[in-house]
Structure 1
């Protein structure tokens, strides 16, 4: 929001070998995912977030962002098996809380107060999505899903308040998880939904990381100490 794409330092950020490595694994994952080549689809999926976490550490970025990405990696791991789906949701929730903590410590709340439609629009979308899926959810998910949805709305809102790039990443993360929710509830889903989910998720992780690193590399001025 406050930074343009150029100001976010994207050209230098995208020249990183970590970006190249992430891109290679992402492309490989989409290929094996489309081919339903187990266990390689699961292995490549779990590799995605740790590569970005290593990139954040290598760039001297905020440790709480690296922690968020590691939590996402555990979420990817546990979502491989249906029996640990709720554990995977919990891991992703931890990751989102880390992202929210970072964005709030860098002025997101002040920006949301100036432009409250960020939060209002996402809150309405989240309530509508959960309401639509509610009748198809298993009883075990009827507590976890609204809580997770609220946290995800928080990530999307604060990411948009931080800058445009992270804002797009937050929106894509919400969209990807919305497709997963619709599948759990046996509601509408597009054809080849697995590819759509993973493409949106990969872009979400990348844009959140790039948006944070790009801004950090040019104008990293935390408003409060980061973890």
Structure 2
């Protein structure tokens, strides 16, 4: 070791990527816990402070793991949707839905053309048709077509996620569940206690599982299964 190197304090030395990744993942988890506890306690300010931090921290984590650009874009579009849904106004809901829809397109391209089991395709298709049919009459008139179009993209993403393995498949299913809870709220259906808590819990788990599932698939197959 050189004399110069020996004088460099430990805090000033470069941090290995794996360490940065763990720190960023821990920060994502901490922000998620703060957000969920804020929703549970009805502390709106805590939710407003924590929610905007979530996707940027997850993005920073996956970047240290060599995430493909499409995965980063999908998560950033999710962040745009998160910010829009913090605004309590009709147009903001459509903006948020559009941002999430763009994220689903990124996921679909990222997943590539891997085979999906026909039974799974049939189950998701039935869920899509049944859910839209049940919600249609109770949705505001100006949201029916946008919600139906968004639901098609969301369901396709959830279905295709299964091509990357169990982890991503669960993530896709949880994303579908989270947004279905939002849609039933818009349709003014009866809700479980603290629906905002369940929406965020399933959403955070979904994005984490989709992101890490995509990374695991990429690493297992040398980056050849999903698109850069």
TM-score, length-scaled by structure 1: 0.86
Distance 2:45 2:227 in 1: 41
Equivalent of 1:41 in 30, 44, 47? 47
**Which residue of structure 2 aligns with residue 7 of structure 1?**
none
Unaligned runs of 5+ in 2: 1-17
CA contact (8 A) 1:99 1:155 kept: yes
Is the radius of gyration larger for structure 1 or structure 2?
Answer: 2
**Which residue of structure 2 aligns with residue 207 of structure 1?**
209
**Which residue of structure 1 aligns with residue 171 of structure 2?**
169
RMSD: 1.8
Bigger relative contact order (CA 8 A; separation at least 6):
1
Distance 2:207 2:65 in 1: 16
Change beyond 3 A, Cα 1:128–1:224: closer
Equivalent of 2:160 in 158, 161, 164? 158
Deviations 1:106-148 (A, max 9, x none): x42xx12xx2122221111011111111111111101100100
Unaligned runs of 5+ in 1: 1-11
Q: How many residues align?
A: 208
Distance 1:137 1:46 in 2: 28
TM-score, length-scaled by structure 2: 0.86
Change beyond 3 A, Cα 1:24–1:224: closer
Change beyond 3 A, Cα 1:208–1:225: closer
Deviates more, 1:215-224 or 1:154-163: 215-224
Q: Which runs of 4+ in 1 moved over 6 A?
A: none
Distance 1:129 1:149 in 2: 9
